[in-house]
Amino acid sequence: MAPEELHVEATLIKKAGDALDYATFEQILQMDDDEDEREFSREIVFDFFQQAESTFKNMDTALGERDLEELSSLGHFLKGSSATLGLTKVKDSCEKIQHIGSRKDETGSHDELDDDKSLEKLDGIIKQTKKDFEVIEKLMREFYEA
Amino acid sequence: MPDFKTRFHNARIRLLRRSSVAPAAESKLPKAAAILPQLRPSASMGKLSSAITTRPTGDSASDSSHSNLDKQKPAVSLLLEHELRHPSAETVVDSQILLPPSAPGSLSSTDLHARHHDDSTPVSDLQLSSESNVTSETREITPVVTLQEPSPSVPTAMTPTHRKIWVKRPHASATLVQIKTDDLVDDVRDMILRKYANSLGRSFDSPDVTLRILPREHNQKSQDRTLGPEEEICRVLDATFPGGQTVEEALIIDVPHKRTPKPSPRVASHHGYYDQETARPLENGGEYFPPMPPVLIPSPAGGSTVSHESRSSHPERSMTVLGTGYLPPLPSPGGERKRTHSHRPKIGRHHTSSPTTMAANAISNSSIRPRGQRHDSSHSDAMQHAAPATAQPLPTPPAPVEPVKPAASTPPIPRVSSPRPGMKGRKRTKAGKDGVDGSHSLSSGLLDNAVPPINVLIVEDNMINLRVLGAFMERLKVRWQRAMNGREAVTKWRAGGFHLVLMDIQLPIMNGLEATKEIRRLERVNSIGVFSSASSVAPTMGPEGERGELVEADRLGDGGLFKSPVIIVALTASSLQSDRHEALAAGCNDFLTKPVNFLWLEQKIKEWGCMQALIDFDGWRKWKDFAAQSDSFKGKGKAGMGRDKKSSALKKLVEEGAESSSTTTTTGHETGHDKGDSSAS
């Protein structure tokens, strides 16, 4: 185990903080056959980036069309993969998108009947999700390029 | 005298029965029974009985000793003096001093209250309240009794000299405990609990404590020795440490592993039941620490103790035990997702010195602690709900044996420690990449290879998740196929041969719940999992009486491929309880919360696999044969081959083996191709 590699992992953990559940992400890393190449996890992570980008695009479209159901479904979709990678913040935001899209409050426990309110909330949360995503994306890229 | 003995015994039994101190209750009885005879011949007991027999009112020793005590003022002062040296008599003395000797009735009842808070307790219980106290109690009585009738043997007991001995908890600093020269190890335990009133006294009884003595010469053969409760401590110490015990030679106090689980929400919710019990101070609390307020541990009474105890510490094992008969080493996490944030061990990572050590710490921390604490696979509720769901009738005995392809090509390795995917495994992977052991070591860290040959259907619409789960299945060497939506899942399931379905709930086209319901419906109308005799006798089992009207479209193919109802595990990223209930109601056996904890998943797959092995014993035996065969193939495998190449070569070998010894290998081959496709995509 090269020391710089440890360093890379530690840096990721440190910088990501709350945004990353390293224990979960580590599960993915452990499926790599080669720790230098990190072929498997790299592919998964970078595919996730693509998936996220396109999902965000779809979210924007759905937001324009005031399609709450679609937003909820998109939120759920991205929630699943971000959870698998341990991207906690993205996952939590996606869950909120899912709940609000299904005409509930953020936590999914109360109904929200006013669509305008929901859409307004969604607009803010999607923006926040994108920001969270960009942060973790940058860190991940650093991690894999190191 | 026999009368006294009987009363002594009866009182003890009664007390022990009544004693409701949860953790100790089970262990106490046998121990007490074992200790009792040992106590009899001990010096102080012997003296007591001899003192009693000489008395005219020998029918009830304790009654008379108290009435005598009450009448005799000098006894009080003597007891007081005695108490100063030996504090274990506190209660007795306190009440006796506080109360005027002219009120004998109230004296004894107060005395009782202080100890038992129970009016009905016969006086004889007083001295016998717990086996750990018996010797010291009787010693208190002895001087009182002998005041009236001095016997030659007593003075030695009346003036025991005191000495202090060193004790310590493992890896802690030593402390002095005062004992009397004729104290038994059992007495010392009492004193230790008194000394460690907070750390030990709150959760342990003195019989739980064991003392180890470390002989001076630290060679291999004179290992430390656990002292029996009946040994005389001073004699042992003098024999072991001629010239006196030093601090370094402190006796080591051992207690059983944490037996009081941290209060969990579950335990808290039980408080309602316990209120009556907890309102009454615990007897032990009163005995060990008379002046202190009793420690309130929720302790169910009597027979329910064991079950409650086990439930509060392992709230979700019901299904595990049912399914496999063994308890998984992993305490299954609860369903609270929020805690994930606060529990991650970040502090440890940030504040260590150099980057290298920091990283090392970080890895070990992150790989050990969060795994134990993570709450993602929140199945605790599921397990309890799932139990009835799995209690479906067992399937018919296997008629045509399902072709079982050897899923594992490496021999079962006895698991050394936890199967957690750790750094070690990875390191070895790297090191052994070119060696023969490449694939072997790859799996050994994370998996032992005893994962039974089950066939898993992963239903996921998210490619990322699908690939991660698929890759994990590959590592477990479990056959798997995928379905991207509920419709496809049902179609694939109908082809037969699946043991386990990991079902995402929110899916396009047909969602996971609908797919689950459909599968369960088809199982029902095809009488899968119903004994064949039962199906003919009870033709209307389905709620709509579907049994009779099995539509041709619903008919499933080869019955041999549907030996039992498939186990469906809902995969959900939702933290909502309602979603879980919905999943279970739809017919899922269990659910997993994303992100899936791989360790947990692996254990579950093993459990389910074992269940299937029981159901399909012939198939399992075949698989074992294949596994053995593939070992010999493996031995011939070429060294220096890359892992992937090698494992595919192995797979081939194994499949050939399967072909030669099994008549139908279609399933295996199909799966193999499918697997290849999906991993390539």
User: Is residue B108 a part of any domain in this protein?
Assistant: yes
Compute the average pLDDT of residues A50-57.
94
pLDDT digits (tens, 9 = 90+) for B35-48: 444 444 433 443 44
Residue of A nearest to B576 (CA): A108
> Quick one: B312 and B334 in the same domain?
yes
For residue B599, what pLDDT band results from cuts at 50, 70 and 90? confident
Residue A48 has pLDDT above 90, yes or no: yes
Q: Which of A6, A34, A48 sits opposite B359 (nearest CB)?
A: A6
Most confident among A131-145, B530-544, B554-568 (mean pLDDT): A131-145
Window 24-43 of B: residues touching A by CB (8 A cutoff) are: none
Domain CATH number, residue B242: 3.10.20.90
- How many CB pairs lie under 8 A apart between chains A and B? 127
> Quick one: B241 and B172 in the same domain?
yes
Compute the average pLDDT of residues B332-348.
41
| Nearest Cα residue to B403 out of B675, B614, B660 | B660
> Quick one: B638 and B559 in the same domain?
no
Query: Is B495 within 8 Å of chain A by CB?
Result: no
Compute the average pLDDT of residues A99-123.
87
> Quick one: B606 and B458 in the same domain?
yes
DSSP states along B24-52: HHHHHHHHHHHHHHHHTTSHHHHHHHHHH
Most confident among B152-161, B180-189, B250-259, B512-521 (mean pLDDT): B512-521
> Quick one: B186 and B283 in the same domain?
no
Residue B530 has pLDDT above 60, yes or no: no
- Residues in chain B with CB shorter than 8 Å from the CB of A44 are 464, 467-468
User: Is residue B673 a part of any domain in this protein?
Assistant: yes
Distance from C-alpha of B190 to C-alpha of A97, rounded to nearest angstrom: 60
For residue B617, what pLDDT band results from cuts at 50, 70 and 90? low
For residue A59, what pLDDT band results from cuts at 50, 70 and 90? very high
Distance from CA of residue B472 to its chain's centroid? 28
How far off is chain A from B573, nearest CA to CA, in Å?
Answer: 6
pLDDT digits (tens, 9 = 90+) for B356-386: 333 334 334 443 443 434 444 444 343 444 3
ipTM: 0.90
> Quick one: B98 and B143 in the same domain?
yes
Contact A35 B426 (CB under 8 A): yes
Residue B286 token pair:
């009163």
Contact A30 B376 (CB under 8 A): no
- pLDDT for B355 equals 37
> Quick one: B6 and B147 in the same domain?
yes
Residue B266 has pLDDT above 50, yes or no: no
Distance from C-alpha of B640 to C-alpha of B643, rounded to nearest angstrom: 9
> Quick one: B98 and B109 in the same domain?
yes
Contact B468 A84 (CB under 8 A): yes
DSSP classification of residue B207? G
How far off is chain A from B368, nearest CA to CA, in Å?
Answer: 9
Which of B354, B372, B390 is where one domain is finished? B372
Most confident among B58-67, B158-167, B184-193 (mean pLDDT): B184-193
pLDDT digits (tens, 9 = 90+) for B444-472: 434 445 667 788 899 998 899 999 999 88
Distances (CA, A) of B134 to B8, B49, B125: 11, 13, 10
Residue A110 has pLDDT above 80, yes or no: yes
Spatial strand order in the sheet of B455-459: B479-483, B455-459, B500-504, B567-572, B590-593
- Residue to mutate among B433, B462, B484, with most A CBs inside 10 A, is B462
Residue B52 has pLDDT above 80, yes or no: no
CB of A75 closer than 8 Å to CB of A62: no
Contact A6 B465 (CB under 8 A): no
User: What class is the A3-30+38-145 domain?
Assistant: mainly alpha
- pLDDT for B16 equals 52
Compute the average pLDDT of residues B254-281.
47
DSSP classification of residue B212? E
Residue A52 has pLDDT above 90, yes or no: yes
Compute the average pLDDT of residues B3-25.
52
User: Is residue B386 a part of any domain in this protein?
Assistant: no
> Quick one: B17 and B112 in the same domain?
yes
Contact B366 A22 (CB under 8 A): yes
- pLDDT for A126 equals 93
- pLDDT for B495 equals 84
Residue A37 has pLDDT above 70, yes or no: yes
- Residues in chain B with CB shorter than 8 Å from the CB of A105 are none
Alpha helix (H) residue ranges in B289-352: 305-313, 318-324, 339-343, 346-350
For residue B233, what pLDDT band results from cuts at 50, 70 and 90? confident
pLDDT digits (tens, 9 = 90+) for B71-127: 444 444 444 444 444 444 333 334 343 444 444 444 444 343 444 444 444 444 444
Contact A22 B426 (CB under 8 A): no
Boundaries of every domain in chain A: 3-30+38-145
Contact B471 A108 (CB under 8 A): no
A70 vs B255, residue with greater confidence: A70
A4 vs B438, residue with greater confidence: A4
> Quick one: B659 and B602 in the same domain?
no
Window 550-609 of B: residues touching A by CB (8 A cutoff) are: 573-576, 594-598
What's the number of domains chain B is made of? 5
Residue of A nearest to B578 (CA): A109
Which of B158, B178, B205 is where one domain is finished? B158
> Quick one: B594 and B546 in the same domain?
yes
Which of B348, B372, B396 is where one domain is finished? B372
- Residues in chain B with CB shorter than 8 Å from the CB of A13 are 346, 349, 362, 366
User: Is residue B112 a part of any domain in this protein?
Assistant: yes
Compute the average pLDDT of residues B466-486.
88
How far off is chain A from B312, nearest CA to CA, in Å?
Answer: 27
Return mean pLDDT, chain B: 56
Least confident of A53-67, A104-118, B379-393: B379-393
Most confident among A116-125, B422-431, B565-574, B661-670 (mean pLDDT): A116-125
Distance from C-alpha of B200 to C-alpha of B206, rounded to nearest angstrom: 9
Q: Which of A6, A24, A35 sits opposite B595 (nearest CB)?
A: A24
3-class secondary-structure state, position B180 = strand
Query: Is B365 within 8 Å of chain A by CB?
Result: no
Query: Is B475 within 8 Å of chain A by CB?
Result: yes
Contact A7 B576 (CB under 8 A): no
Contact B595 A21 (CB under 8 A): yes
- pLDDT for B251 equals 84
How far off is chain A from B642, nearest CA to CA, in Å?
Answer: 10
Q: Which of B366, B468, B576 sits opposite A28 (nearest CB)?
A: B468
B175 vs B628, residue with greater confidence: B175
Domain CATH number, residue B554: 3.40.50.2300
User: Is residue B630 a part of any domain in this protein?
Assistant: yes
Q: Which residues contact B186 (CB under 8 A, 6 or more apart)?
A: B35, B131, B132, B135, B206, B229, B230
- pLDDT for B575 equals 66
Least confident of A120-134, B1-15, B153-167, B437-451: B437-451
- pLDDT for B516 equals 92
- pLDDT for B496 equals 81
Residue B277 has pLDDT above 80, yes or no: no
- pLDDT for B234 equals 80
> Quick one: B119 and B215 in the same domain?
no
pLDDT digits (tens, 9 = 90+) for B399-421: 333 333 333 333 333 333 333 33
Identify the domain containing residue B622 by its residue range.
616-681
Residue A139 has pLDDT above 70, yes or no: yes
User: Is residue B650 a part of any domain in this protein?
Assistant: yes
Q: Which of A6, A86, A91 sits opposite B363 (nearest CB)?
A: A6
- pLDDT for B621 equals 67
Distance from C-alpha of B395 to C-alpha of B388, rounded to nearest angstrom: 16
